[in-house]
Amino acid sequence: MIDWTTAAPAVSAAFLASIVEVVEAFTIVLAVGTVRGWRPAILGTAAALATLVVLTLALGPLLERAPIHAMQLVIGVLLLVFGMSWLRKAVLRAAGVIALHDEAAAFVAETAALRQDLAPRSAPKDWIAGLAAYKAVLLEGFEVVFIVIAVGAGRGLLGPAALGAGAACALVLMIGAIAHRPLARVPENTLKFGVGVMLAAFGVFWTGEGLGVDWPGHDLALFAFAALFLLTGLVSVRAARALAPEAAS
């Protein structure tokens, strides 16, 4: 029986992180579909998804068998670094120090690059286009697989986390199929900020457990860590904006 107070943060992190990654992959798949047609786009995407499913099915159960403290420590540290990295970039984008990710601009750039790559060549054009879709979905999917395995393995939450990721994928593809253009209005940076906070909190929690820390309040400590990282992020946005006003303007 799944304890949903424990599962909810894991499922939410997997769901929200997957929305961000699927939106980015969708932009490139849409570019391939627009320039070369939907057959190579769909085939490339399907091949990448199959690769990712095999990876998750292979790695997930393997980690379940690893010694619990060692696994908590290694995955905790990886999650900590990954989450703090996302949070750092989200803070810098919110402060205007680095540019926001623009899906519309990415679509234009990708379409132009594809048209250039598909200029007269000996290799079949569909293969090149399909490979572009495969690469995009595979690379964005790696982050999703990592998050699903990191928040799910070792706590029997692999299934719920994978379902969260799958639901996000289905939602984005459904909206994308209806809109038929880059999903530029998704609040990507806000989502990355939130996911960064959650993953950094998970990372601290699991690393601590791996080191033998008995967190006061047990699983409830996760919420306290998330609140601290959220506060740190919000204060850092203001401080970074004040520090780099020329970059922010």
Partner 1 sequence: MSVFRAVVAELTGMFLSDARLTFGAIAVVALAALAAEIPDPGHLAAGAVLLLGCVGVLVVAIMATARRRR
- Interface with partner 1 by CB under 8 A: which residues? 77-78, 80-82, 84-85, 87-89, 91-92, 95, 97-98, 131, 134-135, 138-139, 142-143, 146, 200, 203-204, 207-208, 211-216, 225, 228-229, 232, 236, 239-240, 243-244, 246-247
Q: Tell me how far, at minimum, the Cβ of 94 lies from partner 1, in Å.
A: 11
Nearer to partner 1, 120 or 217 (CB): 217
Question: Hey, is 198 helix, strand or coil?
Answer: helix
Q: Tell me how far, at minimum, the Cβ of 65 lies from partner 1, in Å.
A: 23
Distance CA 21, CA 226 (A): 21
- Cα separations in angstroms, 124 against 43, 54, 127: 14, 27, 5
3-state helix, strand, coil in the chain (%, to 5): 80, 0, 20
Token pair recorded at residue 79 = 């999650």
Nearer to partner 1, 33 or 196 (CB): 196
Fill in the DSSP letter of residue 218.
G
Q: Tell me how far, at minimum, the Cβ of 200 lies from partner 1, in Å.
A: 7
Nearer to partner 1, 139 or 173 (CB): 139
Q: Tell me how far, at minimum, the Cβ of 179 lies from partner 1, in Å.
A: 27
Nearer to partner 1, 32 or 95 (CB): 95
Q: Cα-flanking dihedrals φ and ψ of residue 66, to 5°?
A: -70, 155
Q: 């499913």: which residue's tokens?
A: 53
Question: Hey, is 184 helix, strand or coil?
Answer: coil
